[in-house]
Chain A
Amino acid sequence: DIQVTQSPSSLAASVGDNVTISCRASRSLSSYLNWYQQTPGEAPKLLIYASATLHTGVPSRFSGRGSGIDFTLTISGLQPEDFATYYCQQSHSTPNTFGQGTKLEIK
């Protein structure tokens, strides 16, 4: 199975900050790495797919990049609604696997 490792596991930031979350895979994913946002009690929501494509309706302050084994999710100008937990997921191979999550908290 492909392992995906996210870092950091938690992050404290302020409204207006720029933050970056990383995901590293145990082998190449090409560009098949996707990002989700989850708030407590809710299902995850797709933010970015295929490394860098913004899902419909997702604000442009979210961006993704990377290929191979290293990927990043950047949020530029944090908004109050962005404080949540973020997950990466690889869809390159089955079983699809998720990172362990990054909890973004208010500083």
Chain B
Amino acid sequence: QVQLQQSGPGLVEPSQTLSLTCAISGDSVSSNSAAWNWIRQSPSRGLEWLGRAYYRSEWFYDYAESVKGRITFNSDTSKNHFSLQLNSVTPADTAVYYCAKGREKRYNWFVTWGQGTLVTVSS
């Protein structure tokens, strides 16, 4: 059974970088059938897909236009985790952030979710 465990700070100052990690158990970050997604949820924006990363002999990334240029995904096969970095945050980036397992192409329904991390952007 796949489980995702999120970690990272719950408070980030404006203009700084939000960093979260999602540790995978029961699967591999370099799985040939999985895609690793980040999704956030806020009262004002609802559920918002931020992007996904997947490995098919090389890494592929899809990012939402709303955060493109500020967002980076990374993976660490030795620790079997993947991470999100969101730069130059503003209060509008305050949300609950989730990692989720999906797949590539149109098969990207989210079968497993992390527990969620409330990130508040405030000084």
Residues of chain A having any CB pair with chain B under 8 Å: 1, 30, 32, 34, 36, 42-46, 49-50, 55, 87, 89, 91-98, 100-101
Q: Check B46 against A46 for contact (C-beta < 8 Å).
A: no
Q: Check A101 against B98 for contact (C-beta < 8 Å).
A: no
Interface of B is mostly: loop
Number of A-B contacts (CB under 8 A): 55
| Min CB gap B28→A, angstroms | 20
Q: Check B47 against A89 for contact (C-beta < 8 Å).
A: yes
Q: Which residues of A contact B102 (CB under 8 A)?
A: 91
User: How many angstroms from the CA of A47 to the CA of B116 in the assembled complex?
Assistant: 19
Number of interface residues of B (CB under 8 A): 22
Q: Which residues of A contact B64 (CB under 8 A)?
A: 94-95
Q: Can you name the residue of chain A whose Cβ is closest to the Cβ of B102? A: A91
Q: Check B116 against A43 for contact (C-beta < 8 Å).
A: yes
User: How many angstroms from the CA of A32 to the CA of B65 in the assembled complex?
Assistant: 21
On whether A89 and B106 interact (CB within 8 A), knowing A98-B46, A100-B46, A101-B46, the answer reads no
